[in-house]
A and B are shown apart, each in its own frame.
Chain A
Amino acid sequence: MSATLWFVIRRTLQVIPVVLAIAALNFLLLHLAPGDAADIIAAQSGGASAEFTAELRRSFGLDLPLYQQFFVYIGRLLTFDLGFSNVQHRPVFDLIAERVPATLLLMVVSIGFALLIGVALGIISAMRHRSWVDSVVSVIALLVYATPQFWLGLMLIVLFSIMFGTLPSGGMMTIATDMSVWERAVDIGRHLILPSITLALFYVAVYARLMRASMLEIYTFDFVTTARAKGLSETRVGLVHAASNALLPVITLAGVQVGHLLGGSILIETVFGWPGLGRLVFDALLQRDLNLLLGILFISSIVVVLANLAVDLLYGFLDPRIVHQ
């Protein structure tokens, strides 16, 4: 037990330097890009005098030497202050917080849906290895995996919004109507269908392929032969013995993809006008909104690091040998 506890403490402490290193690296990388928010604001106003731009730069603190800006940034991080977005004129934390629900909704629904379907398809293909079912699933998975998401999204819009007129083409909810809570939930659900399916199809393909490969590998292990030798039905061998063991790599991948939960999907959010974090990152990058970018990168790196920590700890729990190594 003490070994397990020690493992947990050690892995948790390792997180701190990783997060700090990421924060420092983010800062330096972003400052490598030429140009700043003052230039962009001046340019988008259709041109401004040099004094105007210089005054903006001064009031944003962008005229300070890099090391001073760095210490200001790290000092703020230590008090969990993410700063102020000079482009959007609002605190970074508020900007991120109002986008999180949309991104979480889209990603949890898509990845959840994809895990269910993907794992099921993977199991079916593995259990019917080299049958026509396996071929059909594999071909479809490869096709979906190779199809650009934005194109798939646009085609779904053409189909369901223009031709059938059944689903809205974009946005997260109908604007400017008074709705009860229940009506609003249904409304958001309708808006969620196309983007979540588009996004989920990609993950379905990934999980289906991974689950299939993992199952096939497990089938070669001795304990599967033993199970068969005991006279267990092929269904029981597949579902209980092989599938539960084959889940490990799928869990690993899903854990890594938790990072996407916060990163969002820029393409899907762009095509469907979904007000999530992915687009916030993209806009912030183009507008050189440094504080906002640093804030988003910092939070998403923490989430990824924590998700990996959780997966590591889960491993130790699922497979005690990892703790002792």
Chain B
Amino acid sequence: MLKSVNSIAFAATILTLTAGTALAQSCPKTGGTLTYVYHPEPTALSTIATSAVPVAIISTKIYESLLSYEGADMKPKPSLAESWTISDDKLTYTFKLRHDVKWHDGKPFTAEDVKFSVEKIIRPYHSRGKVYFGDVASIDTPEPYTGVFKLKDPVPFFMNVFQPGEAPIMPKHAFDGVDLSTAGAVRKADIMQKPIGTGPFRFKEWRKGSDIILERNPDYWHKGHPCLDQVVLRVLPDGAARAIAVETGEVDLAPMSGLPEAEILRLSKLPQLETSKAGAEALGPNMWLEVNMREKPLSDVKVRQAISLVLDREKIVDVIWYGQGTPARGPIVSANPTYFNKALKPYEYNPKKANALLDEAGYKRDADGVRFKMTQNFLPYGENWVRLAEYVRQELGKVGIVVETQSLDLGGWLKAIYTDWNFNITSTFSHNYSDPSIGVERTFTSSNIKKGATFTNSMGYKNARVDELFAKAAREMDPKARKAQFDEIQQILHNDLPVIFLVELSYTHVWNKRVHGLITNGISMYSSWDSVWKD
């Protein structure tokens, strides 16, 4: 008797475990509409036209890439490719593609689409296409469901690039009759406004200025998915109005710091809402003051160190960014689980030391207490950046550096900083992306001192060792050695201060608790949401 009770209990346990596994694979609940708010409105529905945040959020529900990713460290998982092999010399990547994938227009998906997308669309026209696929020598399609990428040189981050927003696979047939030789013609193609992807949701309607509706793809290859019937973007330009819509439950989600920081702070206390800073680790926004090092006194490292010493990063986070961030310690954000150098010390706040350094550098106070004058610009992305500029002016003023603030809109600011190099210091931020060779290198190597290239080395910073280390790391296949290279880079930049590292910004997402399964990896809002479900 006892034995049989035991075996029943055992059987029940097994049953529960199996049910648990089954649950993890299927939707706990299907149906429903997830509505999210974001502003500005997307200008296209493909990251080939622009990989701006609003476009990346919506287009990644429609388009997929070869891989999907799991966790903050972005472990590759199958997506359009169901398996892959990497040759020992790390020069050949063979992807076996799924056989059961159809485009939203019903046509079958094959390796030809992959070859076409990478060679004709992504590499030439995605803003980071050349970084990702510049080393691809050829893509062979020995049979319809196999894609073989042959590289000229090893690329350590190659398995990171197959993200839906960064390498979206597009249907070859949709580009019939489109002149593929110019960016203009590709950007004008019908598919940029009426997308045809393979993803869990397909495009239904776009009422400009109001909303975009995506509906469930009934032929989606991941059977039983997506869990939701619809994903809707509502365009609400006013920050306070967006917060109200989240608060009243009219919308379910405000992703990627889509609300003013003060509102996020307020909403985080409401019982029906959830806020999270997790889920954007592979973006890694990092905010700093870019310093034009071409002229004195900013070419002097002591002056830059003094500027760093008078800026209280804790205060910037708490007061200006309402707690939405972490004091920065260097070029790679601390949320990066692989490459952040934990040996970096937090930057000190010490105006006294700053004064001493400025004296030592030979910039003594004159009769009015002024050491020197300079101008500052700020990134025109809203209130916080204006307040930061005011804070910088005030704090530098205390140690005798008189700062005049210049206000420009985005078009004017970009030209002044990255085309004319006509500035002294400016606030800005940059994304680490999924690998330092993608997101960090472009700001600090001397080969990226290029007029007209936005978010590059505007400072004119040249350090042969840094150049050498970045070049090595871009080819280094030994993870340990690569980590050591990035550690050294971080230490050098931490001390050299070609930019004054200030705050690792957070992308905070706010959602209604009736929505589940949003945070899955380091690019959660740029993922397909095929397993997101709603009560």
Q: Mark A residues whose CB is within 8 Å of B.
A: 33-36, 39-50, 52-56, 59-60, 84, 86-90, 95, 98-99, 102, 150, 154, 157-158, 161-162, 165, 168-173, 175-176, 269-276, 279-280, 283, 286-288
Verify if B273 is at the interface (C-beta below 8 Å from A): no
Contact B236 A171 (CB under 8 A): yes
Residue among A86, A275, A283, A286 making CB contact with B210, cutoff 8 Å: A275
Alpha-carbon gap, A87 to B236, bound state (A): 19
Q: Contacts A45-B52, A56-B183 hold; do A89 and B410 have CB atoms under 8 A apart? A: no
With a CB–CB cut-off of 8 A, which chain B residues contact A157? 241, 244
Task: List residues of B (385-432) whose CB comes within 8 Å of A's CBs.
Answer: 408-416, 418-419, 430-431
With a CB–CB cut-off of 8 A, which chain B residues contact A41? 50, 52
Contact A275 B414 (CB under 8 A): no
**Within the complex, what minimum Cβ distance (angstroms) separates B86 from chain A?**
28
Verify if B517 is at the interface (C-beta below 8 Å from A): no
Verify if B519 is at the interface (C-beta below 8 Å from A): no
With a CB–CB cut-off of 8 A, which chain B residues contact A33? 409, 411-412
Residue among B182, B230, B244 making CB contact with A176, cutoff 8 Å: B230
Alpha-carbon gap, A287 to B52, bound state (A): 12
Task: List residues of B (18-67) whose CB comes within 8 Å of A's CBs.
Answer: 33, 35, 40-41, 43-44, 49-53
With a CB–CB cut-off of 8 A, which chain A residues contact B210? 171-173, 175, 273, 275
With a CB–CB cut-off of 8 A, which chain A residues contact B245? 169-170
Alpha-carbon gap, A42 to B210, bound state (A): 25
Alpha-carbon gap, A102 to B208, bound state (A): 11
* Residue with the greatest number of chain B CB neighbours at <10 A, chosen from A50, A150, A274: A50
Contact A162 B247 (CB under 8 A): yes
Residue among B44, B130, B248, B419 making CB contact with A161, cutoff 8 Å: B248
* Residue with the greatest number of chain A CB neighbours at <10 A, chosen from B184, B250, B411: B411
Contact A169 B241 (CB under 8 A): yes
Contact B193 A171 (CB under 8 A): no
Task: List residues of B (73-97) whose CB comes within 8 Å of A's CBs.
Answer: none
With a CB–CB cut-off of 8 A, which chain A residues contact B33? 176
With a CB–CB cut-off of 8 A, which chain A residues contact B408? 34
With a CB–CB cut-off of 8 A, which chain B residues contact A50? 450-453
Verify if B237 is at the interface (C-beta below 8 Å from A): yes
Contact A34 B415 (CB under 8 A): yes
Contact B410 A40 (CB under 8 A): yes
Alpha-carbon gap, A48 to B442, bound state (A): 10
Contact B241 A272 (CB under 8 A): yes
**Within the complex, what minimum Cβ distance (angstroms) separates A180 from chain B?**
18
Verify if B207 is at the interface (C-beta below 8 Å from A): yes
Contact B40 A283 (CB under 8 A): yes
Q: Which residue of A lies closest to B41 (CB)?
A: A283
Contact A89 B208 (CB under 8 A): no
Contact B236 A170 (CB under 8 A): yes
**Within the complex, what minimum Cβ distance (angstroms) separates B72 from chain A?**
19
Verify if B462 is at the interface (C-beta below 8 Å from A): no
Alpha-carbon gap, A48 to B33, bound state (A): 35
Name the 5 nearest CB pairs between A and B, nearest first: A35-B411, A275-B209, A59-B184, A47-B455, A45-B127
Verify if B454 is at the interface (C-beta below 8 Å from A): yes
With a CB–CB cut-off of 8 A, which chain B residues contact A88? 43-44
Q: Which residue of A lies closest to B189 (CB)?
A: A89
Contact B453 A35 (CB under 8 A): no
**Within the complex, what minimum Cβ distance (angstroms) separates A176 from chain B?**
5
**Within the complex, what minimum Cβ distance (angstroms) separates A178 from chain B?**
12
Alpha-carbon gap, A56 to B51, bound state (A): 14
With a CB–CB cut-off of 8 A, which chain B residues contact A34? 408, 411-412, 415-416
Q: Which residue of A lies closest to B33 (CB)?
A: A176
Contact A40 B414 (CB under 8 A): yes
Contact A286 B127 (CB under 8 A): no
**Within the complex, what minimum Cβ distance (angstroms) separates A41 from chain B?**
5
Please, what's the 1-or-0 string for B434-463, where 1 marks a CB less than 8 Å from any CB in chain A? 000000001000000011111110000000
Contact A275 B208 (CB under 8 A): yes
Contact B248 A36 (CB under 8 A): no
**Within the complex, what minimum Cβ distance (angstroms) separates B213 from chain A?**
5
Alpha-carbon gap, A59 to B188, bound state (A): 11
Task: List residues of B (186-229) whose CB comes within 8 Å of A's CBs.
Answer: 187-188, 192-193, 207-211, 213
Task: List residues of B (239-256) whose CB comes within 8 Å of A's CBs.
Answer: 240-241, 244-245, 247-248, 250
Alpha-carbon gap, A219 to B409, bound state (A): 51
Residue among A36, A55, A288 making CB contact with B183, cutoff 8 Å: A55
Verify if B232 is at the interface (C-beta below 8 Å from A): yes
Contact A286 B130 (CB under 8 A): no
Q: Contacts A89-B44, A172-B210 hold; do A46 and B413 have CB atoms under 8 A apart? A: no
Alpha-carbon gap, A49 to B182, bound state (A): 16
Residue among A43, A173, A175 making CB contact with B414, cutoff 8 Å: A43
Q: Which residue of A lies closest to B229 (CB)?
A: A176
Contact A49 B43 (CB under 8 A): no
Alpha-carbon gap, A36 to B364, bound state (A): 42
Contact A45 B50 (CB under 8 A): yes
Q: Contacts A40-B414, A283-B41 hold; do A171 and B452 have CB atoms under 8 A apart? A: no
Contact B238 A270 (CB under 8 A): yes
Contact A60 B184 (CB under 8 A): yes
With a CB–CB cut-off of 8 A, which chain A residues contact B241? 154, 157, 169-170, 271-273
Verify if B329 is at the interface (C-beta below 8 Å from A): no
Residue among B184, B232, B450 making CB contact with A175, cutoff 8 Å: B232
With a CB–CB cut-off of 8 A, which chain B residues contact A270? 237-238
Q: Contacts A35-B414, A154-B241, A273-B236 hold; do A87 and B43 have CB atoms under 8 A apart? A: yes
Q: Which residue of A lies closest to B46 (CB)?
A: A89
Alpha-carbon gap, A98 to B209, bound state (A): 9
**Within the complex, what minimum Cβ distance (angstroms) separates B165 from chain A?**
10
Alpha-carbon gap, A81 to B449, bound state (A): 40
Verify if B235 is at the interface (C-beta below 8 Å from A): yes
**Within the complex, what minimum Cβ distance (angstroms) separates B183 from chain A?**
5
With a CB–CB cut-off of 8 A, which chain B residues contact A269? 237
Alpha-carbon gap, A99 to B41, bound state (A): 14
Residue among B238, B244, B451 making CB contact with A158, cutoff 8 Å: B244
**Within the complex, what minimum Cβ distance (angstroms) separates A150 from chain B?**
7
Alpha-carbon gap, A242 to B452, bound state (A): 65
With a CB–CB cut-off of 8 A, which chain A residues contact B41? 283
Offer 15 A-B interface pairs, CB within 8 angstroms, sorted by A: A40-B410, A40-B411, A46-B430, A46-B433, A50-B451, A52-B130, A60-B184, A84-B188, A171-B236, A173-B210, A175-B232, A271-B238, A272-B238, A275-B210, A283-B40
Alpha-carbon gap, A244 to B250, bound state (A): 47
